[in-house]
Structure 1
Amino acid sequence: MDDGAVTSPAPSPTPVPTSGGRWLVGVAIILLAVNLRVAVGSIGVVLGSVRDDLSMSATVAGVLTTLPVVCFAVFGVGTAGLVRRAGLHRAAATVLVLAATGIVTRSLVDDRIVFLLCSVVALAGAAVGNVILPPLVKAHFPDRIALVSSLYGAALMAGAATASVTTVPLSDALGGWREGLAAWAVLACVALVPWVLMLRRDVHHSPVATERLPLRALVRSRLVWAMVLLFAAQSAGAYAQFGWFAEILTDAGVSDGSAGALLAVISAVGIPLTLSLPSLMRLTGDTPYLPWAFAVLTVAGWLGVLIAPATTPWVWAVLLGLGGGAFTWTLTMIARRTRTTAGTGALSVVTQGAGYLIAGAGPFGVGALHDLTGSWTAPLICLMALGGVIAVCGTIVARPVMLEDTVGLDHRY
């Protein structure tokens, strides 16, 4: 980043000049989002077979499960430079090329370390995709931010859920886990087509001097830190949930099959909630009612798991799924709390880069606390505490204050 500034391209005057072009970019954004969690969702369900074939130790498998958060943080931070030089559309195409390449190559290798490296390639693409989604929406749908953000948020969840549910049947039908994993590259190739068609209408111009957002000013903004901590809290809880929720239930006596199904319920509940967010945001306006609700639902879900994990586990799964609406709300607010595509890109880079880095402590910390204490009580209390962070930081983010107004003007708070 030049001169210590985080920048993203400002939109061209009319990136997509026709309604037909708008439909094309809308479909392209949704297809891009569907692909961003496929590399994560497909591996867990065949991890046992992968470990057996590649002689992968539990330690190496543990590294594999923590790679998504690490890659999302590390590669997400470098996205601004890529977008500034290549453009948003070329960056999106690059995401899908990396995803397809990583997915295919890891299905072909026989060495566990090379398998990890190929996974990094796919996850690097997903990391860039995470960051460019908000500025893509800002550039092409400035009048439909909540709607399009909710659609791509639902697409993210649907992609992860579909990969988790169908990879095993695909593997059985196609001949093994390698074929089952490689099949997801086809989806990336399909999603690549509309982005290739839009390369000549890329959004790639560098922001003018007045739109540049110095990194040193961003880190002094209260809004930026509220966004980072909000994103970190909900992501830490989500990844701890994906990694440990089923095991917590099975330790309490719930069957493996039921625990897996309940984990799927969490994702399923999140999809309709995400699609309803535009209406909910119109109703609540610039109030903190939504983040408060997400916080209360999250705390209630984990409290239920702590007190009565095997009594009504489906209730706790539904509550946690509804609390997960904080994810899409946070992504939507990245675009709503900025005036320019440059501001959206900068806030997206900092929020997701630093947020995912902090969130990595979530799944790791839950496991470490469980090993240290011999029970799930301390980890669950910490997960409930994340609800408090969501409520407090969400209150700050809900205020109608724009990033561009806070850079170097923090006294206005």
Structure 2
Amino acid sequence: MSPSSMTAVADRSSVRPAPVPTTARRGRILAFTAIACAALNLRLVVTSLSPLLATVSAEFGFNATVVGVFGTLPLVAFAVFGLVTPVIMRRIGPEATVVLSMALTAAGQALRAFAPGTGTLLLLTAVALTGAALGNVVLPPLIKQYFPDRLAALSTVQMVAIHLGALFPPLVAVPLAEAFGWRTALGAWAVVAVAAGLLWAVRWASPDARRTGRAARADQGPELARPLYRVGMAWRTALLFGLVTWNVFTLFTWLPALLTDAGHTSAYSGSMVSLMVGVSLLFGLVAPTVTARAADTFPIVALGVAGYAAGYLGLALGPAWLAPLWACFLGLGTSLFVVVMTMINTRATTARGSASLSGFVQGVGSGVALGGPLLFGLFAELTGGWTLSYALVAGGSLAGALVVARLERTPWTIEAAAAGHRPARRGRRAAGGRRPGARAA
């Protein structure tokens, strides 16, 4: 063998990654399983109730406005705890936060099966949603902490798990209620949160997790140059998230009622919610990669908005027997949630930036989305039909999403935005990625 060949072999061997210790591999496998199991719970609290609201309202005697309140509760929880969760994480650590998240989710889901009336059901649903809201914010930083070398793959796993948690409850809720009663159909899902909580408790208690947590907290990156409420990029991303979430939760709350009102059975209506989520899952499998690589995210958002528009128009004006087609169009629109979450994950370069942006966007964005389910039901209650709801709630939010996406179309990072930089125009690059004389973002 020639000296140059020996040098090449030595060079290749020198850059070969060191084998991962068995203990670390086991810890990553446990963390992977725990992340996926926790993500299953993040929408399950919502979609396990919405197909049963007609049955529950018949027993408790509440109207469409109260149904809208149930649809708004997730957004209240996500808005409040989107802003509070980063503070909790700094006080007790991310592993303890996710254990708390799953404990609240399990307790709320189990206990609301015994609710004696509307007020108690609302309160216990709020407890479960508080847990889900904590989980929404804490999972992205945990992925960055445990899998910094597999961010795209683990983000996809998280999104698939979230979609599966939204897909299965509407599919089986009504059959379960018919067989065992709505209380059993509602409370049984607490088992999923208990399993996730136990997995995270085991991971939290391990010495390896404590070492990983200390190292991650020591390497979170510097403080952002400015608070996010002074960063235009953060507000635009939050507004886009809010307008997308507005439609997602309006549909979770009202699609079963819309289809039942059109003459379909409750079981069929619940299956259409599952179909919508399933189509969203299919698009969501490719959305993270496409979004992360896109030089311009506006066409992606425009495609999702077109799906929403086609689905809403079909529900409002089209034949009821084409409900599966309208659900597929709405699924295309709902996949925008994955697109925006990917934008959040890829627009931060540090764990601190990821946690800060995730909390701000989900907190402010969920506050923007609060009006969706409530106004949709309120307009229906006032007019006795769905036309005004479609026109004002769906149409207005979709138009707003297009406007915001147009403003926030170029990928860049929250760290750069907080420092006052702006991305260079395509085809014109300034030193440091900033155009000469550009304003702070």
Tell me the TM-score normalized by structure 2: 0.80
Match of 1:299 in 2: 309
Q: Which amino acid aligns with 1:180?
A: A
Match status 1:193 vs 2:204 = no
3-state SS, counterpart of residue 110 of structure 1: coil
In the alignment, the residues of structure 2 paired with residue 171 and residue 247 of structure 1 have an alpha-carbon distance, to the nearest angstrom, of 17
Match status 1:125 vs 2:131 = yes
Match of 1:211 in 2: 222
Q: Which amino acid aligns with 2:159?
A: G
Per-residue CA distance 1:177-212 (angstroms, 9 max, x = gap): 333333222211211232122214153665789722
Please say if residues 68 and 376 of structure 2, whose CA atoms lie closer than 8 Å, have aligned partners that are also in contact: no
Range 374-383 or range 20-29, more displaced: 374-383
Which structure has the higher relative contact order (CA within 8 Å, separation 6+)? 1
Q: CA deviation at 1:105?
A: 2.0
3-state SS, counterpart of residue 120 of structure 2: helix
Q: Which amino acid aligns with 2:203?
A: M
In the alignment, the residues of structure 2 paired with residue 232 and residue 407 of structure 1 have an alpha-carbon distance, to the nearest angstrom, of 21
Match of 1:76 in 2: 82
Match status 1:243 vs 2:249 = no
Match of 1:230 in 2: 240
**Cα separation, partners in 2 of 1:133 and 1:313, compared to 1, 3 Å:** same
**Cα separation, partners in 2 of 1:349 and 1:154, compared to 1, 3 Å:** same
In the alignment, the residues of structure 1 paired with residue 331 and residue 185 of structure 2 have an alpha-carbon distance, to the nearest angstrom, of 27
Q: Which amino acid aligns with 1:40?
A: V
Match status 1:318 vs 2:328 = yes
Match of 1:406 in 2: 417
Return 5+ residue gaps in structure 2 as ranges: 1-19, 422-438
Q: Which amino acid aligns with 1:81?
A: V
Q: Which amino acid aligns with 2:413?
A: M
Match status 1:340 vs 2:350 = yes
In the alignment, the residues of structure 2 paired with residue 32 and residue 194 of structure 1 have an alpha-carbon distance, to the nearest angstrom, of 9
Match status 1:367 vs 2:373 = no
Match status 1:26 vs 2:36 = no
In the alignment, the residues of structure 2 paired with residue 182 and residue 255 of structure 1 have an alpha-carbon distance, to the nearest angstrom, of 23
**Cα separation, partners in 2 of 1:64 and 1:253, compared to 1, 3 Å:** closer
Please say if residues 238 and 365 of structure 2, whose CA atoms lie closer than 8 Å, have aligned partners that are also in contact: yes
Please say if residues 147 and 278 of structure 1, whose CA atoms lie closer than 8 Å, have aligned partners that are also in contact: no
Q: CA deviation at 1:297?
A: 1.9
Q: Which amino acid aligns with 1:211?
A: P
Please say if residues 249 and 309 of structure 1, whose CA atoms lie closer than 8 Å, have aligned partners that are also in contact: no
Match of 2:173 in 1: 167
Match status 1:180 vs 2:185 = yes
Per-residue CA distance 1:266-290 (angstroms, 9 max, x = gap): 1121112112224434664554332
Please say if residues 99 and 201 of structure 2, whose CA atoms lie closer than 8 Å, have aligned partners that are also in contact: yes
Range 224-233 or range 240-249, more displaced: 240-249
Per-residue CA distance 1:372-402 (angstroms, 9 max, x = gap): 4554333323313433333333345442311
Q: Which amino acid aligns with 2:157?
A: L
CA RMSD of aligned residues (A): 2.9
Match status 1:141 vs 2:147 = yes
Give the total of aligned pairs: 396
Structure exhibiting the larger radius of gyration computed from Cα positions = 2
Q: CA deviation at 1:321?
A: 0.3
Return 5+ residue gaps in structure 1 as ranges: 1-13
Match of 2:97 in 1: 91
Match status 1:113 vs 2:119 = yes
Per-residue CA distance 1:58-94 (angstroms, 9 max, x = gap): 3655533432221221222210111001111111111
Please say if residues 220 and 352 of structure 2, whose CA atoms lie closer than 8 Å, have aligned partners that are also in contact: no
Please say if residues 302 and 320 of structure 1, whose CA atoms lie closer than 8 Å, have aligned partners that are also in contact: yes
3-state SS, counterpart of residue 290 of structure 2: helix
Q: Which amino acid aligns with 1:241?
A: L
**Cα separation, partners in 2 of 1:101 and 1:285, compared to 1, 3 Å:** same
Please say if residues 234 and 324 of structure 1, whose CA atoms lie closer than 8 Å, have aligned partners that are also in contact: yes
In the alignment, the residues of structure 2 paired with residue 126 and residue 187 of structure 1 have an alpha-carbon distance, to the nearest angstrom, of 12
**Cα separation, partners in 2 of 1:399 and 1:279, compared to 1, 3 Å:** same
**Cα separation, partners in 2 of 1:61 and 1:245, compared to 1, 3 Å:** closer
Tell me the TM-score normalized by structure 1: 0.85
Q: Which amino acid aligns with 2:99?
A: A
Please say if residues 106 and 115 of structure 1, whose CA atoms lie closer than 8 Å, have aligned partners that are also in contact: yes
Range 87-96 or range 360-369, more displaced: 360-369
Please say if residues 288 and 338 of structure 2, whose CA atoms lie closer than 8 Å, have aligned partners that are also in contact: no
Q: CA deviation at 1:39?
A: 2.0
Q: Which amino acid aligns with 2:135?
A: G
Per-residue CA distance 1:282-318 (angstroms, 9 max, x = gap): 6645543322221222223223333325363322211
Q: Which amino acid aligns with 2:124?
A: C
In the alignment, the residues of structure 1 paired with residue 74 and residue 321 of structure 2 have an alpha-carbon distance, to the nearest angstrom, of 32
Match status 1:221 vs 2:227 = no
**Cα separation, partners in 2 of 1:167 and 1:372, compared to 1, 3 Å:** closer
Per-residue CA distance 1:304-338 (angstroms, 9 max, x = gap): 33332536332221111011111011112112101
**Cα separation, partners in 2 of 1:219 and 1:17, compared to 1, 3 Å:** farther
Per-residue CA distance 1:5-42 (angstroms, 9 max, x = gap): xxxxxxxxx9x983443332222111101012222222
Q: Which amino acid aligns with 1:243?
A: T
In the alignment, the residues of structure 2 paired with residue 177 and residue 250 of structure 1 have an alpha-carbon distance, to the nearest angstrom, of 18
In the alignment, the residues of structure 1 paired with residue 227 and residue 420 of structure 2 have an alpha-carbon distance, to the nearest angstrom, of 9
Match status 1:272 vs 2:282 = yes
Q: CA deviation at 1:168?
A: 3.9
Q: CA deviation at 1:352?
A: 0.7
Please say if residues 226 and 397 of structure 1, whose CA atoms lie closer than 8 Å, have aligned partners that are also in contact: yes
In the alignment, the residues of structure 2 paired with residue 137 and residue 398 of structure 1 have an alpha-carbon distance, to the nearest angstrom, of 25
Q: Which amino acid aligns with 1:191?
A: A
Per-residue CA distance 1:207-255 (angstroms, 9 max, x = gap): 78972247x7311212111111111111111112222334444555556
Q: Which amino acid aligns with 2:197?
A: L
